[in-house]
């Protein structure tokens, strides 16, 4: 697996490109870059297996749909929450900070400086243009997706909200909607663009941290439906019984995420 490495500001970037590129090659940008390609840097020693999924599930039938995959690293893991948390929602509901250090976010966070807007702007105004120029791809909005898990799932939804002109799809695995006992989901639903021009994949397991997700996901799905999002077309939520909150679980279903996104491109 040939990985290209690059640096944009404080963020390390790793990229995998398919063997054949064209102006319409899709573009996938992922959060938590350390977990995407290299098991030695991954949190649990298992990557998302996204390249393997593309080569196994996409390339044989649709070689022209193999995407350029960009993995964006967090420059400082101690500030991951501040970077991935949807800033506008956190500012609207500052009481979410009260949960930090508890069961929802078990680790202590002393720095409350939110960096979510800066991070989203970096992705939309620097990372995506760099990838398009470097690989000579057009990657229109419809063919550009952002993907993440847990806090990265929240960040993927927030990407649609903050830069709807950049992203066509948000792929959000095990999205950490329990933050604020539902306030995070309600805040994100308020910020999302009107339905009809974007697509959202969401999923969740029922083990470890994911065991708390089902009611919050159901509430978020109902909120989107009330706003006109069409289930199965605009948005799809899939439960995965037996799956926990880990890269191992996400790698076992990433092929389904990719096939849903790419098959919808036509």
Q: pLDDT value at position 97?
A: 86
Domains (range + CATH), the chain: 4-263 (3.40.50.1820)
Cross-strand bridge partners of residue 144: 27
Sequence-ordered list of residues with C-beta below 8 angstroms from that of 172, at least 6 positions apart, any chain: 147, 148, 149, 152, 153, 154, 156, 157, 200, 201, 202, 203
Looking at residue 102, what is its pLDDT? 63
Quote the pLDDT of residue 101. 62
Report the interhelical angle of 151-162 vs 183-191 (nearest 10°).
30
pLDDT per position in the chain (266 positions), as tens? Answer: 799 999 999 999 999 999 999 999 999 999 999 999 999 999 889 999 999 999 999 999 999 999 999 999 999 888 899 999 999 999 999 999 887 766 666 566 778 889 999 999 999 999 999 999 999 998 689 999 999 999 999 999 999 999 999 999 999 999 999 999 999 999 999 999 999 999 999 999 999 999 999 999 999 999 999 999 999 999 999 999 999 999 999 999 999 999 999 999 96
Please state, in angstroms and rounded to a whole number, the distance separating the CA atoms of residues 192 and 60. 35
Measured at the CA of 240, the angle between CA 63 and CA 187, to 5 degrees, comes to: 95
Q: How far apart are the first and last CA of the chain?
A: 27
Question: What are the residue ranges of helices labelled H in the chain?
Answer: 50-53, 80-84, 87-92, 116-122, 128-134, 151-162, 183-191, 214-226, 247-263
Which pLDDT score is estimated for 164?
Answer: 98
Token output for 79: 């500030």
Q: What is the residue-wise DSSP string for 28-69? A: EEES-GGGTS-TTTSTTS----HHHHIIIIITTT-GGGPPEE
Task: Write down the pLDDT at residue 106.
Answer: 59
Q: How many CA atoms lie within 13 A of 66 on its CB side?
A: 21
**CA distance linking residue 196 with residue 68, whole number of Å:** 25
pLDDT at 171: 98
Three-state DSSP state, 142: helix
Whether residue 183 contacts residue 93, with contact meaning beta carbons closer than 8 Å, is answered with yes
Instruction: Please give the pLDDT value at position 104.
Output: 67
Nearest to 69 by CA among 28, 123, 124: 28
CA distances from 240 to 136, 187, 222 (A): 37, 25, 19
Q: What's the confidence (pLDDT) of residue 263?
A: 92
Cα–Cα distances (Å) from 126 to 36, 45, 46, 229, in that order, read 20, 30, 29, 30
């Amino acid at each position: 697996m040939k990985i290209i490495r690059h640096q944009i500001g404080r963020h390390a970037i790793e990229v995998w490109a398919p063997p054949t590129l064209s102006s319409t090659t899709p573009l996938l940008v992922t959060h938590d870059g350390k977990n995407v390609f290299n098991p030695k840097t991954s949190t649990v020693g298992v990557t998302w297996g996204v390249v393997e999924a593309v080569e196994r599930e996409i390339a044989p039938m649709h070689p022209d749909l193999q995407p350029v995959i960009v993995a964006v690293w967090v420059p400082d893991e101690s500030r991951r929450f501040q970077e991935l948390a949807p800033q506008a929602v956190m500012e609207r509901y500052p009481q979410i900070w009260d949960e930090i250090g508890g069961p929802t976010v078990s680790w202590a966070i002393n720095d409350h400086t939110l960096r979510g807007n800066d991070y989203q702007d970096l992705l939309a105004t620097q990372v995506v243009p760099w990838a398009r120029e470097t690989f000579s791809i057009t990657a229109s909005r419809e063919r550009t997706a952002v993907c993440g898990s847990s806090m990265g799932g929240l960040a993927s939804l927030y990407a649609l909200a903050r830069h709807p002109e950049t992203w066509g799809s948000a792929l959000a695995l095990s999205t950490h909607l329990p933050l604020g006992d539902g306030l995070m989901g309600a805040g994100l639903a308020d910020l999302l663009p009107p339905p009809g021009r974007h697509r959202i994949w969401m999923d969740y397991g029922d083990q470890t941290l994911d065991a708390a997700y089902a009611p919050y996901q159901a509430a978020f799905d109902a909120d989107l439906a009330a706003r006109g999002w069409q289930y199965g077309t605009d948005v799809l939520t899939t439960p995965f019984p037996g799956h926990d909150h880990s890269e191992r679980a996400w790698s076992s279903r990433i092929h389904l995420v990719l096939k849903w996104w790419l098959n919808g491109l036509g």
